[in-house]
Amino acid sequence: MDSKIVVITGANTGIGLETVKALCQSDQKYHILLGSRNEEKGQVACQSLATIATQSTVEPFLVDVESDESIDAAFAQIAAKYDRVDCLINNAGAAFDAYIDQSMTARQAWNKSWDVNVAGAHLMTVKFLPLLLKSQDPRLLFITSGLSSLEGAADPSNPKNVFAPAGLPKAFPFMSYRSAKAGLNMLMIEWSKLLKNDGVKVWSIAPGLLATSLGGNTELLKKLGAGDPKLGGEAIRRVVEGKRDEDAGKVVREYLTPVQPW
């Protein structure tokens, strides 16, 4: 097919869905495989795009990045219909810190954060690599977070870095999420090295603080100054369309500095 084939996980809501919308509104032509853990929600997401005038097409597929069997089944379904994938967007991600001592233990939250945000992205990439390598312009994207910067987290002059008073108790806000996204950046670097001689361009993208359902509290994110999720979709589309090719192998963003410090 003459459309560029894009596979995106976690795309039935939030930044994932906004990325699909942004691609549909592009002058370029795409066939977008919209990944969702729930078949009905994937179908509803596709139906929500019906009002967009577009030359692109969208097709839902079922995938749970925490399940090897689900990833295998998703690959088999897509490989049976398409001879390549031009862009794989590992967007599926979640934060579980808010659920600690509520519905999850700390260990459960930390393990699940790593499983969803890092292991799932890695295993999706491993599985879909044969199709990605058949593209004439293969692109691999990992959606990270501005909270993943080690330099930013350690900067004593950053007003967002709060140093706790002596004594107990201690709070651990977003610690498992931040740690997982920092791990995701390392994963991106390793994949960038692995695929350099194959001609695959690789990035992490930090879309900024956006009002999504991440962590289960959209209203809190808005109070913290979160922006419209469509800004994240537009930022990801620009990477897909070659606007950040000179920054391949880095964490890119469109606020503060264009490249996020490690």
What's the confidence (pLDDT) of residue 256? 84
Q: Are 16 and 9 in contact (CB under 8 A)?
A: yes
pTM: 0.94
Please give the Cα distance from 153 to 33 (Å, whole number). 35
Predicted local distance difference test score (pLDDT) of residue 219: 65
Q: What is the DSSP letter of 80?
A: T
> What is the predicted pLDDT for the residue at 84?
98
pLDDT value at residue 255: 86
CA neighbor of 96 nearest in space, from 114, 82, 123, 81: 114
DSSP 160-195: T-PPPPSSS----TTHHHHHHHHHHHHHHHHHHHHH
- If you classify domain 4-252 with CATH, what class do you get? alpha beta
pLDDT of res. 214:
64
Catalytic (active-site) positions: 145, 177, 181
> What is the rounded CA–CA span in Å between residue 232 and residue 52?
18
The domain spans of the chain are 4-252
Q: So what's the pLDDT on residue 217?
A: 59
List, edge to edge, every strand of the sheet that includes 57-62.
57-62, 30-36, 4-8, 87-90, 139-143, 201-205, 251-252
E strands along 109-239, which residues? 139-143, 201-205
Instruction: Report how far residue 215's alpha carbon sits from residue 212's, in angstroms, rounded to the nearest whole number.
Output: 9
Would you state the pLDDT for residue 150?
96
Please report the pLDDT score of residue 7 as a whole number: 98
Question: What share of the chain has pLDDT > 70, as a percent?
Answer: 94
CA nearest 260: which of 132, 143, 134? Answer: 143
pLDDT string in tens for the chain (262-residue length): 799 999 999 999 999 999 999 999 999 999 999 999 999 999 999 999 999 999 999 999 999 999 999 999 999 999 999 999 999 999 999 999 999 999 999 999 999 999 999 999 999 999 999 999 999 999 999 999 999 999 999 999 988 888 899 999 998 888 999 999 999 999 999 999 999 999 999 999 999 776 666 655 566 666 656 677 888 999 999 999 999 999 999 999 988 899 999 9
